[in-house]
Amino acid sequence: MAEFQVDVIGVEDLLEIEGAWSSEDFRALLGEMDFDEAEDLPEDQLREMCVMYLQDRKPAEAAEILLRRRLGGDLTKGQISNISHEMLEEKLWEQYSDMTLHERLFHVGSLLAAAFPRSVPEPDAVEVRLEVRGLDPEAQRALDEGLREPMLVRLLAAGMPASAPLHRMFGEAVQGGPFREAESIAWSVQAATGEGGVTSIRVIGSGCWLDILKRTSEFQAKIKADKK
């Protein structure tokens, strides 16, 4: 087991994740919506123009356009058609059965909400910023090598009450069992070690898993270390 001291520096709500849609994505979307001058648009105008053109469609049609761009290689036409209607009512980045698609479904839902803020669920990703110290050699070694997603999610779960969704849904995995879903919970992870061996970690994921950390300022975590 590895023991850590964790300070929660901040927990911030995100309506969208910066860089989720590239300039290439926006130009491709505009082309699909019959805007012929996308290549001539400055990069800082692409997102705004894309949102405007999405607003010329009905929300379900706009959702289908976005889904084809972001998930066309993973979903059939029928699935995309069904999801384009479902996401007008449901937060599929929390509820869709295939968790590996959650992050991309959030990106779709985020841009869709920018176009139709009153017609679709509000995006609710969360960014958690931590400062982590290893309290024993095993913990410090794990930090130096970089926490992989299973161990990182177990670390986050240690700061949550037993009633938290992570514990209720993945109790055995949180305790140290196989945890394939961890990569679909921690969408984005950045880590850097600073003075005194303190590791700063930035994690982005769905609010349904991480929002509860708003109630926590610090905690100690004793968790099973990954074997590399």
The contacts of residue 48 (CB under 8 Å, 6+ apart) are: none
List Cα–Cα distances, 215 to 96, 123, 159, 219, in angstroms: 27, 20, 9, 11
Domains by residue range for the chain, with CATH: 2-14+124-223 (3.30.70), 23-115 (no CATH)
Q: How far apart are CA 87 and CA 120, in angstroms?
A: 7
Q: How far apart are CA 34 and CA 191, in angstroms?
A: 42
Distance (Å, whole) CA 114 – CA 126: 17
pLDDT for 227 equals 56
> Residue 79, Cα to own-chain centre: how many angstroms?
22
CA pair distance 194, 144, nearest whole angstrom: 11
Of residues 210, 177, 27, the one with CA closest to residue 102: 210
Q: In the prediction, which pLDDT does 214 show?
A: 96
Write out the chain's pLDDT in tens, 228 residues. Answer: 899 999 999 999 999 999 999 999 999 999 999 988 888 889 999 999 999 999 999 999 999 999 999 999 999 999 999 999 999 999 999 999 999 999 999 999 999 999 999 999 999 999 999 999 999 999 999 999 999 999 999 999 999 999 999 999 999 999 988 999 999 999 999 999 888 889 999 999 999 999 999 999 999 999 987 654
